[in-house]
Amino acid sequence: MISIRNPLLLLLMLHEAIQYHDGIYGPGLHPKEVVMPARYFFVNITSIVGQKYTSKLNNDFAVEIEGTSAKTHYCRIWVNKLNRKDGTFIVRYKVYETCNDLSISLYYKSKHIGGSPFTFKGPILPDQCYCPEKNFDKWFKQYDCPKSYDKVTHDLELYGKVNMKTQLKKIIHRFHKPESTSFCHYVVKNNKIYRNCYGKHVGFNMFADNILLFLARKVVLPDIELIINLGDWPLVRKGTEPLPIFSWCGSDETVDILMPTYDITESTVENMGRVTLDTLSVQGSIERDWSERESKAIWRGRDSRIERLKLVDIARANPDLFNVSLTNFFFFRDKEQDYGPKQPHISFFKFFDYKYQVNVDGTVAAYRLPYLLAGGGMVLKQDSPYFEHFYGLLQPWKHYVPVARDLSDLTKRVKWALANDNEARTIAENARKFANNNLLPQHIICYHAVLFSEWSKRIDSEITVDDGMTHVPQTPFTCDCKTDQRREDHQEL
Ligand SMILES: *[C@@H]1O[C@H](CO)[C@@H](O)[C@H](O)[C@H]1NC(C)=O
Ligand SMILES: *[C@@H]1O[C@H](CO)[C@@H](O)[C@H](O)[C@H]1NC(C)=O
């Protein structure tokens, strides 16, 4: 919750406060304070109209989001209504230009519901605007980010005060092996981003660039210096001197500082953009209700680990329980005869034509887990030494069904699910709740913000931009950042 110390701000907020029905909530209802590529909010239509869920509700519920722009009469907005088929909807909208007088209208059978329309005086900024809030704490509260995450506290525990100049030297000395590792040294100074990369395969620095650029557009970041590992494997082995390297995947054997994976991060900063699979879209692009789904476990993927071949064996022995295929051979090309032919990709959304979802490691943790959880399938998760930033919060038998690393009990687990449909369904529902509480774009943004701001407090050395570092510029985009209404009114005269 937002605590308000400034009485003037309180007055302003009271003035603007909108009373929302309990069934309408989410960050997309604070479009001025929370700037995202796709703003989103939730509508529980059954609670608003006091009716039980039927599939007809989809047609009876309508959304309209409009605003005016300086250049044209209406501003360009794309609205996306995602039906979760449980009486609730996710509404997403992307504004392509600065909008004034934004209004959000919700209709049921063509009548306004829940206090709609909701109107907001502008400017409502698109994600591309470089209009950073100067006060980090203020921004942080507006975004409704938690003060800390246990995982961040845990990961940073190893570091008291850090001299990045000496740590960087040590990291380069120990890990700079161009053929096998790639990492970048980032400096954020005066909200500008610079980097120097090491290694042969540095294309993934695009993902690290994107989240830093994203944050810097929203808020003036504290000056920081960090080293981001661009590979999937974590690097800093337990028992060696802990050196601060930020990685996307962790393991039982290593102490790397975890960031959300590039995959879920990209789906956050490219929401309703380049990326179409994300923890929101997967909730609304599913055809079948639980009861209509096939009672089988589905899996598709490439041959990146031996258990994935084993999974094919298990599925062949139990065709009534599984629908499993490899989609590509790369690591075990010589086995294509036995485990092929490879099958074409199917849309991720089609996975949810089935009740049970198998999650088997690839080279490291399978980065699809967030989408499997959000999609509302019952996830059968292989035991694994690898993890993403949020795994510590997952509980076996609550959010997923655990499976032995060698998959020896997988068939037994599927049979259990078949015999216990209610429990299986509850696990699937818990998984989706978990995703909605931990894995939506807002959470991914907050996690980075907490991580980077906590990290900045530990850096003891002066943060400087070294000679030869590459400046990573924002994409130019014309915006009027002014929020002072009177001045805007004045301009119009
Ligand atoms: C929607 O609201 C109703 C009534 O308040 C509640 O019983 C139901 O659980 C809510 N649905 C979801 C999916 O949260
Ligand atoms: C397996 O799943 C695919 C994709 O849903 C489907 O086209 C195929 O018919 C299924 N195979 C079997 C044997 O059910």
Closest ligand to 90 CA?
Answer: 1
Measure CA 147 to chain center.
19
Q: How many angstroms separate the alpha carbon of residue 53 from the centre of ligand 1?
A: 10
Q: Is 288 in the pocket of ligand 2 (CB under 6 A)?
A: no
Kindly give the distance from the C-alpha atom of residue 354 to the centroid of ligand 2, in angstroms, as a whole number.
10
pLDDT of residue 341: 87
Atom 8 of ligand 1: nearest residue by CA position: 47
Give the ligand at the shortest distance from the Cα of 345.
Answer: 2
Both structure tokens of 192: 């500008």
Q: How far apart are the CA of 353 and the centre of ligand 2, in A? A: 10
Say how far apart CA 358 and CA 377 lie, in whole Å.
Answer: 10
For the CA of 287, the nearest ligand: 2
Nearest CA owner, ligand 2 atom 3: 323
Task: Give tens-digit pLDDT for 350-366.
Answer: 999 999 999 999 989 99
Residue 155, ligand 2, Cβ within 6 A: no
CB 455 within 8 A of CB 153: no
Strand-pair partners of 325 = 300
Question: What are the pLDDT digits (tens) for 237-254?
Answer: 999 999 999 999 999 999
User: Is the CB–ligand 1 distance for residue 276 below 6 Å?
Assistant: no
Say what angle helices 205-218 and 262-269 make with each other, to 10 degrees. Answer: 40
Q: Which residues in the chain land under pLDDT 70?
A: 1-17, 71-72, 483-493
Q: Whose CA is nearest to atom 14 of ligand 2?
A: 323
Q: How far is the CA of 45 from the centre of ligand 1 (A)?
A: 9
Query: Could you tell me where the DSSP H helices lie in 25-176?
Result: 45-49, 57-60, 136-142, 150-156, 164-175
How confident is the model at residue 286, as a pLDDT? 82
pTM over 0.85: yes
Task: Please tell me the distance between residue 50's alpha carbon and the centre of ligand 1 in angstroms.
Answer: 10
Task: Kindly give the distance from the C-alpha atom of residue 299 to the centroid of ligand 2, in angstroms, as a whole number.
Answer: 11
Q: What domains can you pick out in the chain, each with its CATH number? A: 18-127 (2.60.40.10), 150-270+442-472 (no CATH), 281-439 (3.40.50.2000)
The token pair that represents 251 in the structure block: 């393991």
